[in-house]
């Protein structure tokens, strides 16, 4: 894991971030705006306040890499920035931010159940599903501010997924092939369950913005397949390094 690279990436990514033009009028119908506001408020809740537990787990389980821990703090801060952007969007569409929702409670419960590695995995699954959602609402709506915000979120999330793919690739490179297969299987099962939960919660907003159920699951699967490929590439690179040593 090249932690120094990631620390430097997160430090630089804080600089010169464009701000969406919040005051531009929305061409979307009010009913669509309200449905989107409700859905986005759930994503906004998901982006808030997850850092303490994650860092706590990380300090106990990956304390041998302080640079990674530092990069992880920047990653958490970036998720906090996403919460800010999403809050602006929710308010713009006439919604309110929320403090509790069953999907968030379920997500937090599962995430904190089995230690740092599992927490990263659950977080990552939420990022993959979120990426599919942002891609679709961005592609299907014509709201400039929504487009600018989704562009910012997607640009960061692509790197978040790669950041976790590096760490998980490192972890998988130390396992026997049968254990890697078991890990990949459980990951896909958990991912499929998360995609179903996401559709239950956000299907109305996706439909209101012009997407269909099939499209959402296809987009989500694409994200999952891409991630599994990236984690394998990273694991193979680690194996090649220690095989050559």
Contact residues for Fe ion (CB under 5 A)?
Answer: 79, 82, 127, 157, 160
Q: Which is nearer to Fe ion, 80 or 210 (CB)?
A: 80
Q: Which is nearer to Fe ion, 79 or 148 (CB)?
A: 79
CB of 160 vs Fe ion, minimal distance in Å = 4
Q: Which is nearer to Fe ion, 12 or 23 (CB)?
A: 12
Three-class SS state of 79: helix
CB of 111 vs Fe ion, minimal distance in Å = 13
The total of other beta-carbon atoms located within 10 Å of residue 148's CB is 19
Cα distance between residue 50 and residue 192, in whole Å:
22
CB of 86 vs Fe ion, minimal distance in Å = 8
Cα distance between residue 196 and residue 192, in whole Å:
6
Q: Which is nearer to Fe ion, 5 or 84 (CB)?
A: 84
Q: For 193-235, what is the HEC assignment?
A: HHHHHHHHHHHHHHHHCCCCHHHHHHHHHHHHHHHHHHHHHHH
| Among candidate residues 149, 47, 139, 35, the one with its CA nearest the CA of residue 93 | 35
CB of 8 vs Fe ion, minimal distance in Å = 18
Q: Which is nearer to Fe ion, 43 or 93 (CB)?
A: 43
Cα distance between residue 35 and residue 143, in whole Å:
14
CB of 122 vs Fe ion, minimal distance in Å = 12
| Among candidate residues 126, 103, 106, 122, the one with its CA nearest the CA of residue 114 | 122
Q: Which is nearer to Fe ion, 10 or 187 (CB)?
A: 10
Cα distance between residue 60 and residue 5, in whole Å:
22
Q: Which is nearer to Fe ion, 127 or 170 (CB)?
A: 127
CB of 240 vs Fe ion, minimal distance in Å = 28
Cα distance between residue 156 and residue 58, in whole Å:
21
Cα distance between residue 114 and residue 57, in whole Å:
10
CB of 82 vs Fe ion, minimal distance in Å = 4
């Amino acid at each position: 894991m090249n932690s120094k690279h990631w620390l430097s990436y997160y430090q630089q990514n804080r600089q010169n971030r464009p701000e969406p033009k919040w005051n531009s009028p929305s061409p979307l119908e009010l009913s669509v705006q309200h449905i989107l506001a409700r859905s986005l408020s759930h994503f906004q809740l998901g982006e808030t306040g997850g850092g303490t537990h994650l860092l706590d787990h990380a300090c106990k389980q990956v304390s041998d890499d302080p640079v990674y821990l530092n990069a992880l703090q920047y990653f958490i801060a970036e998720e906090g920035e996403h919460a800010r952007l999403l809050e602006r969007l929710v308010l713009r569409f006439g919604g309110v931010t929320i403090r509790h929702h069953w999907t968030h409670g379920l997500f937090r419960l599962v995430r904190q159940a089995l230690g740092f590695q599992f927490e990263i995995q659950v977080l990552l699954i939420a990022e993959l599903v979120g990426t599919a959602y942002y891609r679709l609402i961005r592609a299907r709506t014509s709201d400039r501010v929504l487009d600018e915000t989704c562009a910012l979120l997607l640009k960061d999330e692509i790197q978040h997924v790669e950041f976790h793919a590096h760490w998980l690739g490192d972890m998988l490179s130390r396992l026997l092939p049968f254990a890697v297969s078991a890990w990949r299987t459980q990951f896909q099962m958990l991912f499929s369950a998360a995609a179903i939960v996401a559709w239950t919660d956000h299907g109305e907003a996706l439909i209101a913005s012009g997407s269909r159920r099939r499209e959402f699951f296809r987009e989500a699967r694409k994200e999952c397949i891409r991630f599994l490929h990236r984690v394998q590439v990273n694991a193979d690179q680690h194996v090649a390094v220690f095989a050559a040593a």
